[in-house]
Amino acid sequence: MSRPLLLACLALTGHAAEPLSRKLEVDFHRDVPSRRLQGLATRADGRLVPGPVFTDLRGPAPAPLLWTLEPGATPGTWLLGTGPDGAIHEVTLGAGADAFTTREVVRLPDAQVLALHRTAAGTLVAGTSPGGLLCLVREGRILARVRLPADSVLDLLPLGEGIVLAATGNPGRIYRVDLARLAESSGGEAEVTGSAALAARGVTLFGQIRDRNVRRLARLADGRIAAGSAPRGNLYAFPAEPGPNPEGATPRLLFENSEGEVTDLLAMPEGDLFATVVFSPSSLEARLASSAPPAASPGPNPARPGAEAAREPLPPPATPVRFTGRSALVRVPPRGLPEVLSTRSNLALYRLARHGDLILAAGGDQGELVGYDLGERLSLTFAGSASAQVNHLRAADPARPGLFLALRNNAPGLAWVDLATAGPRSAETRRLELPGPGRFGAVRLPRLTGVTAGDLRVELRTSLGSDETEGWGDWTPLRLDPDGGWRGEELHGRSFRLRLSLEPAGPFSLDRATVFHLPQNRRPQLQEFRLLPPGLDLLPAAESPAPATTTLSQVLQPPREEARGRANLSSSPIVAVPGARVATWTLLDPDGDAFTATFSLRRDGESEWRDVVVGTREPFVRFQTSHLPEGTYETRLRVSEAAPRPAAERLSHTFGTDELVVDHTPPEILAAEAVRGADSVVITVRGRDRLSLLEGLELVFNHGLRESVRQPADGIRDGREETFVLELPLERAAGANAVEISLLDAAGNTAARRLRF
């Protein structure tokens, strides 16, 4: 017999053949939240791989809302577009610094600075909302501004030679801005009087879409302009030059949706376009509504002269409106059809960045940082922020590839994302729950690549409850056994968290972990017990033949032995045998243990139990009562666990079951009469039994008629003394003048008498 077929046959031989221990697979991608990763990433195939170190920086929050991030004029400086005061701030920090300082550069006459670009000459171009201002700022003052015929300026795309494209919302348009001409018209804010007035300021219509907002812009490798929209979430491609059409260039649709928001575009030199699309009724409005005011800034740190931020704990993030939509990462090749690379539920993706073959995507509303491996074609989850949202990612230092600066909101601030740093890395699972309380065995990682088992530190924390924070024990380091498993000493619990730590020197991957456990041993349960009426015997049905074929469901979920036993018992025929008794029961072991049963009797007044059957695995017992003395007997069913449960751990329980009456004596007829009346014959019988309840009356008339009476005269058959009455119409008794009566008790005994009428 081949090995697979042998395993299938073993699976079908019964539930008792299965091990009592269980195992729980830990899928790191599913079970490790982003905020419990440090220097590691979880991949969609469930593995742990190298990832960035996410470090929230300490420093004063410059504004309640941080929207956009732009490199400053000197290394180590950055520009922030903020809200709701419409200010642009400069942040100063060095690569690797853990704190930053800020200063306000300028305050614009609008609420939100959503788009920001610094030209090579040092001029700042800013787009605002909800006034739709486009402003030029130089040396801390507004050089020129124009109010576009739109509610918001959502994105800016520099094309070189002093030309910038501005994407607007409500309506969805793209304007071509000649910065030199706009700077020359510095005589105040232009009123919206038509295209001629805008053209005089160097602003012309480049293109427009039917959707309400042009959310993002990108320049493709072939020179075309890609645009992403909202609230439909479409992707468009505009020609590099709009041509003479006054309505702007005509776009080509690259990717269509019905309800979504394109939150970012990333164009590759090789021609690919990547986009993040958030499918939610109003992502931008939700972020505006959910962001909280900034917490009070910590005081200066005397240990770091000149630093305005102390190493105080970050304020807890405010609770955002829970995001219930989904996000998608879309790839549009230069030639071909778009494809959705990955989707994430309950996660909004905001901005994109690239590092080698990795696509990084910043998101929320739990401060997530996720990615996609272009080589492996698998999704990744990286370490996340303590804030609720990560709104922007920018490469921080050309001399340090893999170092990014992240913008975060709620609480607002900055963070380092470093993919090249060395040092300790760790991952901690969320609270995982066993089916019930139990004892933990080994933790095993079947495959390690790039590291050895000795490089890992594995810890386990357990709880007997289901609360996320209360009732937990300490972290227990697990020892590495020679067989490659990590074990602890007598760890018990219902919930657990697993933590892995390592300091690798090169690339590595850790496969999914398996946690072995032994469920708490619980006693067998008696679900049903029945005594069949006296005089009935059972002919057990033959075992059902083994199926000719084995199905996958039978291998994955083998039928329980007791279930098959009950099925055979239910199909067994019943025959009448004097003195025979049959007891049936349904037992259940919550843990799937095999068990045996012993059925015993004890007569009232006696101390010794008589074992009728010992150690049976059948769900019934057949026995004779003809040899037993009359009387009332107690019955019990003692159930004991059996192999493969070790003898020292086997539990047993004794169930008190139904009372058994052994009665060999027929009932006594106290009075009986048959009276013929004017229109009927009335037969009245009163009887009594010493041990059993009376069952009824059987009558046979001497002209062949048979009748039975089961209902006593008082209406309730509940005693050992009863009166039974039969009224028989004369037409049915015509020709008869005598009747044979038989009084029956519940034990099957009868007393007879002949009456004449």
Q: Determine the Cα–Cα distance for residues 588 and 639; give it in Å rounded to an integer.
A: 10
Residue type, 527: Q
d(CA 535, CA 194): 106
C-alpha 363/C-alpha 277 separation (Å) is 11
> What are the b/e assignments for 118-139, b being 16+ CB within 10 Å?
beeeebbbbbbbebbbbbbbee
CA distance between the termini of the chain = 80
What angle is formed at CA 261 by the lines to CA 279 and CA 250, rounded to 5 degrees?
135
In this prediction, residue 567 has a pLDDT band, given cuts at 50, 70 and 90, of: low
Beta pairing class for 403-409 and 413-418: antiparallel
- pLDDT over 50 at 706, yes or no: yes
- Is-contact 427 382, C-beta < 8 A? no
pLDDT in tens, 426-482: 999 999 999 999 999 999 998 999 999 999 999 999 999 999 999 999 999 999 999
pLDDT of residue 310 exceeding 50: no
Please say if the pLDDT value at position 207 is more than 70: yes
Q: Helix or strand or coil: residue 7?
A: helix
For residues 249-268, give the mean pLDDT: 94
- Diameter of the chain by CA atoms? 135
Lowest pLDDT segment from 291-295, 408-412, 654-658? 291-295
Separation of alpha carbons 393 and 361, rounded Å:
8
Model confidence pLDDT, tens digit, residues 552-564: 776 666 655 555 5
- Asked if residues 719 and 695 have their Cβ atoms less than 8 Å apart, the reply is no
pLDDT of 729 above 70: yes
* Pairing, β 40-43 against β 48-50: antiparallel
Percent of the chain past pLDDT 90, that is, above it, reads: 75
pLDDT score for 97: 82
SS (H, E, C) 501-517: EECCCCCCEECCEEEEE
- Would you state the pLDDT for residue 1? 47
CB contact at 8 A, 744 and 750 = yes
Q: What is the pLDDT of residue 291?
A: 46
pLDDT confidence of 95, banded at 50, 70, 90?
Answer: low
Query: What three-state secondary structure class fits 330?
Result: strand
CA 559, 563, 569: angle at the middle one, nearest 5? 140
Average predicted confidence (pLDDT) for the chain: 88
Nearest C-alpha neighbor of 356 from the set 50, 628, 661, 108: 50
Average pLDDT over residues 585-591: 90
Question: DSSP string of 206-259?
Answer: EEE-SSSEEEEEEE-TTS-EEEEEESS--EEEE-SS--S-TT-BPPEEEE--SS
> If pLDDT is split at 50, 70 and 90, which confidence band does 9 have?
very low
pLDDT at 506: 85
Contact 329, 361 (CB under 8 A): yes
pTM listed for this prediction: 0.76
pLDDT at 12: 43
Number of neighbouring beta carbons within 10 Å of residue 677:
10
**Which of 590, 623, 688 is CA-nearest to residue 20?**
590
pLDDT given for residue 3 in this prediction: 47
* DSSP reduced 3-state for 425: strand
**CA-wise closest residue to 303 among 58, 593, 640:** 58
Instruction: Write the CA distances from 196 to 145, 185, 191, 242, integer angstroms.
Output: 16, 14, 11, 17
3-state secondary structure of 621: strand
76: left (phi over 0), alpha (psi -120 to 50) or beta: left
**Is the pLDDT confidence value at 8 over 80?**
no
Task: Average the pLDDT over 216-225 and give the result.
Answer: 96
Confidence band for 399, pLDDT divided at 50, 70 and 90:
confident
Q: Are strands 101-107 and 87-92 parallel, antiparallel or unpaired?
A: antiparallel
| C-alpha–C-alpha distance, residues 342 and 351, integer Å | 15
- Per-residue tokens: 140: 């801390």
Q: What tens digit of pLDDT does each residue of 645-703 get?
A: 889 989 999 999 999 999 999 999 999 999 999 899 999 999 999 999 999 999 999 99
- Structural domains present in the chain: 22-49+425-519 (2.60.120), 55-295+348-354 (2.120.10.30), 525-662 (2.60.40.10), 668-756 (2.60.40.10)
What is d(CA 274, CA 363) in angstroms, rounded to the nearest whole number?
Answer: 16
What is the reported pLDDT for 336? 87
In this predicted structure, what is the pLDDT of residue 562?
54
Question: Rounded to whole angstroms, how far apart are CA atoms 745 and 424?
Answer: 84
Nearest to 209 by CA among 193, 227, 197: 227
311 has a pLDDT exceeding 50: no
- Chain-centroid distance, C-alpha 183: 56
Higher pLDDT, 303 or 196: 196
Do the Cβ atoms of 99 and 56 come closer than 8 Å?
Answer: no
Asked whether 115 and 156 are in contact (CB, 8 A), the reply is yes
pLDDT at 293: 43
Secondary structure letter of residue 290 according to DSSP: H
Q: How confident is the model at residue 321 (pLDDT cuts 50, 70, 90)?
A: low
Helix or strand or coil: residue 731?
A: helix
Calpha distance 235→275 (Å, rounded): 8
Q: Which pLDDT value is given to residue 266? A: 97
Tens-place pLDDT, residues 59-69: 888 999 999 99
Pick 537 or 566 by higher pLDDT: 537
Residue 197 CA neighbour count, 13 Å, CB half: 10
Q: What is the pLDDT of residues 488-543, one digit of tens each?
A: 988 999 999 999 999 987 899 999 999 999 999 999 999 999 999 999 999 988 77
Backbone phi, psi, residue 501, to 5°: -135, 145
Tokens of 172: 């969805």
User: pLDDT tens, 143-198?
Assistant: 999 999 999 999 999 999 999 999 999 999 999 999 999 998 865 555 556 788 89
User: What does the pLDDT look like over 99-123, one tens digit per residue?
Assistant: 899 999 999 999 999 999 999 999 9
